[in-house]
């Protein structure tokens, strides 16, 4: 029995050759190849500046630090999604304020955000989960004139679009991930984008112990070693060339699931708006009998992942709020097999087993 992984990507000869050339030319630590990748990404996204980081999580932390977020401040974070944004807030010393998602999508609800804003609110981090865009127009309207910044968490939304362009480029600063379960990968990695020259300069200083040049006569500001490597950047340049084909493939996977799940009782696809430019990096469904389904698929050699828990259920964040919309996705959500290199034949096998399961239990 062949195992079908929940997410499949690949690193091939193009990446190996790119890394080989970097090593043989002596470009190993952060240098010209990293700068080339930064330049290519900024051009592709239409922003002035791009700064590569060791991870998307570090990108979020640096974005907050560059805007002087710290103790006494509050930052509004989605209750649904990966925990990195909330942990980045904690590392700055600021307070995490959780906000519920929409009733039909696991995306931050601008109306709930409005209720959570106080005089201490200094930032909002909309998480564009699985390539889906938060309501950026509504969030920008809420923050206008209040000194509140928007830190776009687009770690799952590289090259996704909404009606105003690329997601992650419409707030004050945007953060992306280059981890292995992403559209393009460098092993570990991430980056920050901004069109603000002052903020970009701060980011550069933060990335390297508060200096631009290690041979300095003074330590200008707080910073740390958040540098990248040219080896990883060489892999990133090769991966970037694959992006158009990968986007096409992810859409093909989504279309198979969308067609196959239509009319199947007990399981529902959580939609991604492909027509508007959103990219379905993952396939998420709401499933009745989730535990039984996971067990059944596992016995068939099909790996799936339950949705991550709501943040308010963890001990890291103290909150008295209610999050009824989030609970639906937390209790019933599943990631089905997908990924930019997942064979379409695997998707058809998964669909056949889903139909078998729900017909039997129905």
What domains can you pick out in the chain, each with its CATH number? 13-237 (3.40.640.10), 243-361 (3.90.1150.10)
For the chain, helix (H) and strand (E) counts, in that order, are 11, 13
Give me the average pLDDT of each 10-residue run along the chain (362 residues). Answer: 90 95 95 97 98 98 98 97 95 96 96 96 98 98 96 98 97 98 97 97 94 72 93 98 98 98 95 97 97 96 95 80 92 97 97 92 55
pTM: 0.95
CA triple 86-190-339, angle to 5 deg:
95
Cα of first residue to Cα of last residue in the chain, in angstroms, is 26
Task: Report the length, in residues, of the chain.
Answer: 362
Give residue 359's pLDDT. Answer: 83
Alpha carbon of residue 297 to chain centroid: 26
Give residue 361's pLDDT. Answer: 58
According to DSSP H, which parts of 102-189 are helical? 110-116, 136-143
The whole-angstrom separation of Cα 281 and Cα 38 is: 22
C-alpha distances (whole Å) from 38 to each of 45, 134, 264, 334, 339 are 11, 25, 45, 34, 24
The whole-angstrom separation of Cα 49 and Cα 171 is: 14
Number of alpha carbons in the 13 Å side-chain half-sphere of residue 46: 9
User: CB neighbours (10 Å) of residue 322?
Assistant: 10
Give residue 1's pLDDT. Answer: 57
What 3-state class would DSSP assign to 16? helix
Give residue 220's pLDDT. Answer: 73
Give residue 319's pLDDT. Answer: 74
Give residue 217's pLDDT. Answer: 66
DSSP classification of residue 168 = T
Q: What would the two tokens of residue 17 be?
A: 């050759």
The whole-angstrom separation of Cα 152 and Cα 167 is: 8
Give residue 317's pLDDT. Answer: 74
């Amino acid at each position: 029995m062949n195992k079908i992984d929940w997410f499949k990507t690949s690193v091939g000869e193009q990446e190996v050759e790119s890394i080989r050339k970097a090593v043989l030319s002596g470009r190993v630590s952060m240098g010209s190849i990293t700068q080339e990748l930064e330049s290519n990404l900024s051009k592709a996204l239409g922003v002035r500046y791009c700064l590569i980081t060791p991870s998307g999580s570090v990108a979020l932390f640096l974005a907050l630090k560059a805007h002087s977020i710290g103790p006494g401040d509050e930052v509004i974070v989605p209750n649904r999604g990966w925990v990195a944004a909330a942990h980045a807030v904690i590392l700055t010393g600021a307070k995490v304020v959780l906000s519920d998602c929409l009733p039909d999508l696991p995306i931050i609800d601008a109306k709930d955000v409005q209720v959570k804003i106080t005089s201490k609110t200094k930032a909002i981090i909309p998480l564009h989960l699985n390539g889906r865009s938060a309501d950026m127009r509504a969030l920008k309207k809420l923050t206008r004139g209040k000194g509140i910044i928007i830190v776009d968490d687009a770690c799952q939304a590289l090259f996704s679009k909404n009606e105003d362009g690329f997601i992650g480029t419409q707030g004050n600063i945007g953060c992306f991930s280059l981890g292995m379960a992403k559209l393009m990968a460098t092993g570990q990695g991430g980056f920050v984008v901004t069109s603000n020259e002052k903020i970009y300069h701060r980011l550069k200083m933060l990335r390297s112990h508060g200096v631009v040049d290690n041979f300095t006569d003074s330590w200008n500001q707080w910073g740390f070693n958040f540098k990248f490597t040219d080896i990883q950047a060489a892999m990133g340049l090769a991966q970037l060339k694959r992006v158009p084909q990968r986007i096409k493939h992810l859409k093909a996977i989504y279309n198979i699931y969308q067609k196959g799940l239509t009319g199947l009782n007990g399981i529902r696809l959580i939609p991604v708006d492909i027509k508007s430019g959103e990219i379905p990096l993952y396939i998420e469904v709401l499933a009745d009998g989730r535990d039984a389904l996971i067990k059944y698929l596992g016995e068939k050699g099909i790996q799936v992942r339950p949705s991550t828990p709501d943040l308010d259920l963890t001990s890291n964040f103290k909150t008295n709020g209610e999050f009824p919309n989030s609970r639906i996705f937390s209790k019933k959500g599943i990631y089905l097999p997908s990924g930019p290199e997942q064979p379409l034949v695997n998707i058809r096998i998964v669909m056949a087993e889903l139909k078998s399961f729900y017909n039997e239990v129905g």
